[in-house]
Amino acid sequence: MTRANVSDRDGASAMIALHAMHLRQVQNVLVDGGYSGVNFQLDVASNLNATVQVAKRNELHRFEVMPQRWVVERSFSWLENCRRLWKNCERQLTTSLQMVVLAFLALLFKRF
């Protein structure tokens, strides 16, 4: 989380710079239009050696399913089915991460 005077793009750049060693396997970063910009792309390229793919809408007032955004929104919807993940009440980031992993594992086991 950042203060209100820090943009999401700047916060993401700082997070990537801070945790670059844990994100070594990331090859492509899929973001929405708010993260477009040369500075963010350069930060991702220099810290992660990854590319940035911006998923933008084609028209403003027309609904259209975009494959990249659909994957992200669908995944968030699945996570909201887990009561513990509705709000982030964990004190440690690693605990929150493990709850997300456990939620996806539960979804995977339900499919079999």
Q: How far apart are CA 83 and CA 86, in angstroms?
A: 6
Residue type (1 letter), 49: N
Q: Say if residue 87 is in the same domain as residue 110.
A: yes
pLDDT in tens, 14-39: 999 999 999 989 999 988 878 888 89
Contacts of 47 (CB under 8 A, 6+ apart): 16, 17, 20
Give me the pLDDT at residue 79, please. Answer: 80
Do residues 84 and 99 lie in contact, with contact meaning Cβ atoms separated by under 8 Å?
yes
Higher confidence at residue 100 or residue 51? 51
Backbone phi, then psi, for 70, in 5-degree steps? -65, -40
Judged against a pLDDT cut of 70, whether residue 1 lies above it is answered with no
Within 13 A of 76's CA, how many CA atoms are on the CB side?
Answer: 5
Average pLDDT for the chain: 82
Whole-prediction pTM value? Answer: 0.58
Residue type (1 letter), 87: K
- Residue 74 belongs to domain spanning: 59-112
Q: Say if residue 85 is in the same domain as residue 35.
A: no
Q: Say if residue 63 is in the same domain as residue 30.
A: no
Q: Say if residue 64 is in the same domain as residue 52.
A: no
pLDDT band for position 77 (cuts 50, 70, 90): confident
